[in-house]
A and B are shown apart, each in its own frame.
Chain A
Amino acid sequence: MSLAALEDLHADVLVLGMGASGLTAASALAQEGKSVMVVGRGMSATSLSTGCISFIRQAELSREEPRIDMETLAKSVHPFSDLIERSALSLEDLIAEMSAFLVRGLADQGLEMTDDVFHYHRLLTNIGSSYSCSIAPASLTLGSEDKLTRDKWAVLGLLGAQDLDADLFAAIVNHRHPRIEIRPLWIRPTSFGSRQSLTSLEVASIMSSEAAVEEVVQAIRGIEADNVCIPPIFPLAKFEAGMRKIRKLTGKNIFEPVTPMSLAGMRLQEALERLASSQGCQLLRQREVTALRSSPGRVDSAVLTTRTRTQNVSFNSLIVASGDLVAGGLGVAGAKVEDPLQTFKIGTFGRTSALAASATFGLMDVAMETGMLVNNEMRLMNREGRPFANAFGAGAVLAGFSYPTGVGLGGGLLTAWVAAKHAMEGS
Chain B
Amino acid sequence: MVAAKENACIKCGICMQVCPVVTLEGVASFPGPRGVAIDAARFGEDVQSMRLDSLKCTTCWRCEDVCPAKISLPRRILEIRRETFSKATLPAGHAQVLDNIDRYRRSVHPEGSPPSMKPNRAGDLLYFPGCIAEQRLPAIYNSTLDLVGRGDRVPFVPESWQCCGAPLEKIGDEQRMKAVHEANFAIFDKAKEIVTSCPGCTTHLFQGYGLRPMHTIEYLYEVMGVNRLSFLPAKKKIRVALHRPCHLNRTVGPHVIDYALEILQNVPGVKLVEMADPGRCCGGGGGVTAGHPNVALDLAKAKVRSALEAKAEMIVAPCPFCVINLNRAGGIEVRDFVILVDSVLKGH
Contact = CB atoms under 8 A, between A and B. Distances in A.
Interface string B233-265: 000000000000000011111110000000000
Given A197-B26, A307-B251, A307-B253, A261 B66 contact: no
Given A1-B211, A200-B17, A201-B18, A308 B68 contact: no
Interface string B18-57: 1000110011100000000000000000000000000000
Contact of A307 (B16, B192, B222, B250): B250
A87 interface: no
24 contacts: A1-B191, A2-B212, A43-B14, A43-B18, A43-B66, A45-B68, A195-B26, A196-B26, A197-B27, A198-B26, A199-B13, A199-B22, A199-B23, A202-B23, A205-B23, A307-B252, A307-B253, A307-B254, A308-B202, A308-B212, A309-B255, A311-B255, A326-B8, A328-B68
Interface residues of A, number: 34
Contacts of B344: none
Nearest to A200: B17
A200 B16 CA distance: 11
Given A199-B17, A199-B22, 10 more contacts: A3-B214, A196-B27, A197-B26, A199-B16, A201-B23, A202-B23, A261-B14, A307-B254, A308-B252, A326-B69
B157 interface: no
Contacts of B211: 1
Nearest to A305: B253
A43 to B, nearest CB: 4
Interface of B: 8, 10, 12-14, 16-18, 22-23, 26-28, 65-70, 191-192, 202-203, 206, 211-212, 214, 222, 249-255
Contacts of A47: 14
A298 interface: no
Nearest to A194: B26
A42 B65 contact: yes
Nearest to A266: B17
A427 to B, nearest CB: 25
A287 B249 CA distance: 11
10 nearest interchain CB pairs? A306-B253, A307-B253, A43-B66, A199-B17, A286-B254, A43-B14, A3-B212, A306-B255, A1-B212, A195-B26
Contacts of B251: 307-308
A256 to B, nearest CB: 18
Interface in A325-339: 326-328
B65 A41 contact: yes
Interface string A42-58: 11110110000000000
Contacts of B206: 308
A285 interface: yes
A196 B67 contact: no
A308 B253 contact: yes
Contacts of A198: 26
Contacts, number: 82
A200 B14 CA distance: 10
Contacts of A48: 12, 14, 68
Given A197-B27, A199-B23, A327 B68 contact: yes
A359 interface: no
Contacts of B16: 199
Contacts of B192: 1
A308 B251 CA distance: 7
A2 B225 CA distance: 19
Nearest to B207: A308
Nearest to B257: A286
Contacts of A285: 254
A31 B249 CA distance: 30
Contacts of B17: 199-201
A42 B222 contact: no
Nearest to A237: B276
